[in-house]
Amino acid sequence: MKTKHLTNLRKDLTSLSDVTKAELEAWFELAGRLKKELKAGKTHHLLAGKNLAMIFQKSSTRTRVSFEIAMRQLGGGGLYLSGNELQLGRGETIADTAQVLSRYCDGIMARVYAHSDIATLAKHASVPVINGLSDFSHPCQAVADYLTVLEHKGRLQGLTLAYVGDGNNVAHSLLYGGAKLGVSVTIVCPKGYEPQKAVVDRAESDGRQTGARVLVTNDVSAVKGADVVYTDVWASMGQEKEHEERVRIFKPYQVNDRLMAMTGKNDALFMHCLPAHRGEEVTDEVVDSPNSVVFDEAENRLHAQKAILVSLMAGR
């Protein structure tokens, strides 16, 4: 499989803020090919002999399994490093950790609390650093999300995605990605839980180049006309103390059959990055409906990340 044009597009993936439309489309194209050929029984060891250090301050099902299996299918290896084992930023500085791991491994993936940890790793590592999740951004998730929409809708340009819930790291990445891909993004959230203004401003700027519109509103009726409805948990890991209060505030923003009907489209997709708190941000009826693509979305974490790994690590 020819991948030369995909490799060395960038050193790191910390956020989708500076990823280009061409890079995103290259990832979609390679992910699609790898997915199709894997299902046909054909594998490509494009990262043979390569090893990925996988740092987890936060536990995860999808992130760990998808990255570990991705490296294995690409002919390389993934090394799981828990926050307790590394004591990232406590037992050893993050800068020193980045430099040490760079001597052992060919890439670093980190799932952290503070985005500043990702930025520090990227600054001091001599190998590619991939953001597996931070409090600011979840870029790999958004790449998998838009790959899933592309598979089901056949296009991205001109579509509208309505994100209903907390204006969090997932919302930020959907804004960045949608604006570059020509997908209009509406963020529907309670007052005081909007995405960061700098992210919205950047998405609006990028959207002027692609025709994508950006709207942030507290009115759930803004989902009208959406091709995709997306939600996430109301209280993320680390916000457990706020859970009860958030449930009270976000209750009117639950994605249920009534809200899906407000789109006015029988073929509107439902998406969720998982895990879903059924009965809170979404009902069983929506998660398990024919319009739900949440498990396709979860599967595509594997394929999207394989494309990202190849583009960052092959040929270095």
Q: Which residues are catalytic?
A: 111, 138, 141, 232, 273, 301
Q: What is the C-alpha separation between 195 and 183, in angstroms, rounded?
A: 17
Give how far the C-alpha of residue 104 lies from the chain's centroid of Cα atoms, to the nearest Å.
Answer: 27
For residue 161, the cross-strand partners are: 185, 228
Show the tokens assigned to 119: 């930025």
Q: What is the C-alpha separation between 247 and 164, in angstroms, rounded?
A: 14
Q: Residues with Cβ < 8 Å from 179, sequence gap 6 or more?
A: 185, 202, 203, 204, 205, 206, 207, 210, 212, 214
Residues 179-204: b if buried by 16+ CB within 10 A, e if exposed? bbbbbbbbbbbbeebbbeeebbebbb
* Nearest CA among 310, 308, 303 for reference residue 75: 310
> What residue has token string 């991205």?
156
Continuous H helices in 126-263: 139-153, 169-181, 197-210, 243-250, 257-261
Residue type, 309: L
Does residue 109 contact residue 67 with C-beta atoms inside 8 Å? yes
